[in-house]
Chain A
């Protein structure tokens, strides 16, 4: 605990507030993510998990509160700014453009351009280089899909998630955020995606994971951030709490402040 607390969080938030009309989605939420860890974000439906990661990834701008990246205050106005700061997000359903191929999806929004005059003036893409690098990224995470020219709609659900994770991992210099990456998958494909998440951590990038699947969360996470009614109510570890205790915290049946509350 003291070892963790001594380190500076990679990503940190204090007192985030977000209202949607009369609904309060975030009500003074705090957040800490430390280097090299997998942090699971758990909470009941409507607890504010999605809103919190949207704020962290620049998809929404919080009404109040502060976000720090390596201790420095940041203000993301859109996802692009978060990405430029090394924070990559894998969204639950919105990750990919199905009609585009794997390489195009990997480089969507940051296409590689030819380095010659037509690349600079006409913004012509460098297709061979994108295919080459896409192949390298995909192989890096041990994902096996046929051709980089295959459109994403021809892939299975697991393979699509693989592409989405590969995209995040390839460009994330600081943080990868994943929203329910296994929600739509079967048991075997879920297992593959969990392997993928460990692979990302092994490469040194901390991961924030939203999940409803308690066994999965307890299998993979280093720490669990429990949310309720728009706030962080506890931070626990799979060792410190049982699944039943975690669920009690989520639902408000228990109000214990976790031992690693930071």
Chain B
């Protein structure tokens, strides 16, 4: 759960008041204990001025992306002298779990709450929290409607998809017989739809295009994606471009191709930019990935929350936390950075 990393950071900071250190350690333990759903608070032991409480609610605790986001928030909270409460849904569609965590945090006196909303199921609770004077910032994906929250700090997921779509188009320029497979996450995923649509936009085709020979739900994980890619290859062995929702999915696709000895002729593009994923770009399994910055989202969110609590300054609107195309085989017309940059800025 990264508690050792946290402690290293604390030591690196040095000279901080003692309670923060213990709060940090407690926080890591408390998160362990309440992994699942609900929320946990760092006890504000012996703090002289009443510390600012910031809440962070992630879709799930079982996904490196959100774990890194939480760790980034914990670090930033330590730096700013705020207390971070964390909570998570049971899985990516557990809106009820998120709502519970949100309500508990409001009760606990959180001044600002950062949430990665699962669906419209959290909207009412978000509005209610705001009516009670709490600043609510959506991270990673928008609330539905987007203005239900005060502000949105997120990757432009459509742009992330668009970048790899443009990349794939440019990389395959002039070739004929293009056959595309699309690996989505799961039916009903907002982020999944944005990336999917972005990819098609970047590639310059639409759903139902004859070049798309297989559309699969890999669940965003390696095991299911491998199975689905095997079936896609049976359906059409000539697949040569694969869009994947994230890097674990890309690795599952690669494994299926490898089992068939076809890994060399196929271009795989993905989204996320996790360290393992960028490693996959470096060793050639993935051609390009759109890197996003969850640590940055968390940092900006905590900063805005503290600013609101102390100075009453309310952020609003959309803040793009940035997305960068990472590839070691740049193509003309699409800006990209190499894996050295990617590994220096990756998140997990």
Q: Indicate if A touches B (C-beta under 8 A).
A: no
Q: A residues near B, CB below 8 A?
A: none
Q: B residues near A, CB below 8 A?
A: none
